[in-house]
Amino acid sequence: TKQLWSAQISNAHDKIQYESVCQPFRAVGTSGKDKHKIALAFETGPKLTIEDFNARLPKKYAINKIYKSELTKKQAQELYPEWYQRIVVEKGERGHWNRHEGIYHNWIEKCYQGTEVNHRYYCLENLCSLAVQCQIAPEQVEKDVRELAEYFETLTNKDDNHFTEYDIACAMRTYEEPTESAYRRRIEFISEKTNIPLQRTKRNGRKQEVHLKRIRAMQEFDDEDNGTNWRDGNGRKPK
């Protein structure tokens, strides 16, 4: 991506836009944001494999860590019988952890404070991803998305780059039709796409056991003060 957005190719080389391989694009023959321009596509060669891509990349960027279990199905059944029954035999879905609602609202604040023009879509799409993880009600998501989209439109600095209903609809698809990627995202991926810096939570040198005891004590103090129970609505849901 960085090579394609170099100064020799693009005049926006200082504001690189990263696109997901799952990012939808306009159908060939339809108009774009500029109604006088038609979307075109060109066949330039055969399909490329991972090996083909690696041959064109510097070695440090090569894709060489594709995880694949070395266990046979029989070994997996013996080691993880409950998982095997639920996923392999019953064709069940992979389980997910739910996150605290505060993470969702915190991201909204980050969007108001740090969103840039060329990263607006991914900021909104990530909000929809967090809405899935935090189990936010549809009415609340719709309200927050609309309000944030209105703010994003105020950042528009070119007539051909408005934040449109199409952008909103594409972002909302993550919430309305959640896939595995809506639940599992690395903060490095989010930061790269949104250009909003994120850092992992640190234990400040404490061992995990000590750190967790401290967190639980803080949670119990907050519960006593607020009359709440932090466990309500959190954790993995039973099947």
pLDDT-based confidence at residue 104 (cuts at 50, 70, 90): very high
Percent of the chain with pLDDT over 90: 32
pLDDT: is 12 or 121 the higher one?
Answer: 121
Residue 87: exposure state from Cβ atoms within 10 A (0-12, 13-18, ≥19): middle
159, two tokens: 């007539």
12, pLDDT greater than 80: no
Cβ atoms < 10 Å from Cβ of 70: 5
- Provide the phi-psi class of 85: left if phi over 0, else alpha when psi is between -120 and 50, else beta: alpha
- Provide the phi-psi class of 206: left if phi over 0, else alpha when psi is between -120 and 50, else beta: beta
pLDDT of residue 61: 79
**pLDDT tens digits, 111-128:** 999 999 989 999 999 999
107, pLDDT greater than 90: yes
174, pLDDT greater than 50: yes
* Cα gap 102→84, rounded to integer Å: 34
pLDDT of residue 160: 85
Work out the average pLDDT over 139-152: 96
- State which amino acid sits at residue 177: E
Work out the average pLDDT over 160-177: 91
Task: Judge contact between 58 and 52, C-beta under 8 A.
Answer: no
* Cα gap 32→43, rounded to integer Å: 20
Window from 70-79, 155-164, 177-186, 187-196 with minimum mean pLDDT: 177-186
pLDDT: is 56 or 149 the higher one?
Answer: 149
* Cα gap 149→166, rounded to integer Å: 11
DSSP conformational letter for 61: G
* Cα gap 127→104, rounded to integer Å: 7
* Cα gap 104→111, rounded to integer Å: 11
pLDDT of residue 143: 95
Q: What angle do CA 24, 118, 10 make, to 5 degrees?
A: 90
- Provide the phi-psi class of 217: left if phi over 0, else alpha when psi is between -120 and 50, else beta: alpha
221, two tokens: 């103090």
193, two tokens: 């796409």
199, pLDDT greater than 90: no
pLDDT of residue 239: 42
pLDDT: is 203 or 77 the higher one?
Answer: 77
pLDDT of residue 202: 64
**pLDDT tens digits, 37-77:** 888 888 778 887 778 888 888 888 787 766 667 888 889 89
